[in-house]
């Protein structure tokens, strides 16, 4: 495709999103649309798009130490912590921009280009509005989960290892990292990055009534929530929520990929983490 005299690559699938690029510009878009506008899926926002786009650039051998940002839609504290960016670097050749729609661009040139993919998936307007309202209620300052409470400090301390799938490595790999092993002994500080591809060993779906209280506002709209128990080639196992924007049922033995999405809201803050996408 051509955009402002610049030849862009065709959009391709990446972690449930759509990506396109030139030598100096990388674009990521939600695959969903409503009334000719690109909109976010049920558990996505500008921050999840940004993390996914940086991971796409990493996969193509492009190293980024920091990002310049002037967009209020992005939470740079979250991105710096999640991606391990150096906040002390005051300048960066890479700048990140958000469109009015659900599109993010990272560029090292002065021009920012937002190209819109074709053949987007139409969302149900009623469900879209219900999910949007549910997130607003869930992220309200007065909303406190009645389930397993996780403080902001606990969340922040483990965020980078969770987002980047950094496991502790010793006699075996453990994820998420922890201080002590099952014998109460210090496990050590060595780490290993897990592959984001995994095998599904079992899964379950909770009805809206049986969902944990963190998800009680959105679960009835989504028709419940699903989780899967997966294994990584490094030997680690873990339990992950399935992404909310793809209506697929896992099969034991099938493959999935770990992606970054919104998890839940609490005390005025959206909590981000990793979820599972079915890829075969």
DSSP3 helix / strand / coil % (the chain, rounded to 5): 20, 35, 45
What tokens does 160 get? Answer: 């980078």
State the pLDDT at residue 171: 64
- Taking the C-alpha atoms of residue 42 and residue 258, their distance in angstroms, rounded to an integer, is 17
Residues in the chain: 280
Question: Roughly what angle, to the nearest 10 degrees, separates helices 76-83 and 46-59?
Answer: 30
**Strand ranges in 30-181 using DSSP code E only, listed in sequence order:** 32-34, 37-39, 68-69, 95-98, 103-107, 121-122, 166-169, 173-174
State the pLDDT at residue 186: 63
State the pLDDT at residue 32: 98
State the pLDDT at residue 188: 62
- Taking the C-alpha atoms of residue 216 and residue 228, their distance in angstroms, rounded to an integer, is 19
Q: What is the pLDDT of residues 213-245, one digit of tens each?
A: 888 899 999 999 999 999 999 888 999 999 998
- Taking the C-alpha atoms of residue 49 and residue 247, their distance in angstroms, rounded to an integer, is 20
State the pLDDT at residue 146: 64
- Taking the C-alpha atoms of residue 46 and residue 14, their distance in angstroms, rounded to an integer, is 15
What tokens does 183 get? Answer: 């014998």
> Which DSSP string do the residues of 173-222 spell out, in sequence order?
EESS--SB-TTS-B--S-EEEPPSEEEEEEEEEE-GGGS-GGGTTTHHHH
CA-closest candidate to residue 250, choices 233, 232, 225, 272: 225
3-state secondary structure of 166: strand
The pLDDT averaged over each successive group of 10 residues in the chain (280 residues) is 53 96 91 96 97 95 87 89 76 86 90 82 96 93 73 84 83 70 65 91 90 88 94 91 90 96 90 94
State the pLDDT at residue 214: 84
Virtual torsion, Cα 129, 132, 133, 136, nearest 10 deg: -170
């Amino acid at each position: 495709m051509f955009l402002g005299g610049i030849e862009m690559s065709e959009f391709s699938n990446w972690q449930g999103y759509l990506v396109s690029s030139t030598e100096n510009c990388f674009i990521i878009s939600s695959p969903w649309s409503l009334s000719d506008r690109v909109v976010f899926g049920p558990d996505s926002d500008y921050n999840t798009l940004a993390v996914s786009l940086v991971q796409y650039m990493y996969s193509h051998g492009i190293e980024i130490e920091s990002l310049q940002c002037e967009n209020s839609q992005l939470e740079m504290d979250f991105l710096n912590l999640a991606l391990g960016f150096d906040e002390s670097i005051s300048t960066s050749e890479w700048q990140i921009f958000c469109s009015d729609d659900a599109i993010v661009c990272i560029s090292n040139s002065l021009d920012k280009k937002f190209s819109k993919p074709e053949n987007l998936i139409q969302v149900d307007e009623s469900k879209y509005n219900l999910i949007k309202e549910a997130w607003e209620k869930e992220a309200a300052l007065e909303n406190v989960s009645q389930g397993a409470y996780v403080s902001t400090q606990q969340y922040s301390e483990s965020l980078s290892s969770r987002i980047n799938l950094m496991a502790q490595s010793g006699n075996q790999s453990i994820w998420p990292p922890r201080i002590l092993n099952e014998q109460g002994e210090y496990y050590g500080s060595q780490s290993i990055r897990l592959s984001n591809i995994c095998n599904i060993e079992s899964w379950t779906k909770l009805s809206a009534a049986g969902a944990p209280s963190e998800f009680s506002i959105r679960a009835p709209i989504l028709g419940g929530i699903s989780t899967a128990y997966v294994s990584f080639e490094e030997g680690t196992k873990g339990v992950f929520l399935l992404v909310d924007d793809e209506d697929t049922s896992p099969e034991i033995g099938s493959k999935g990929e770990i992606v970054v999405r919104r998890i839940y809201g609490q005390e005025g803050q959206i909590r981000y983490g990793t979820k599972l996408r079915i890829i075969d």
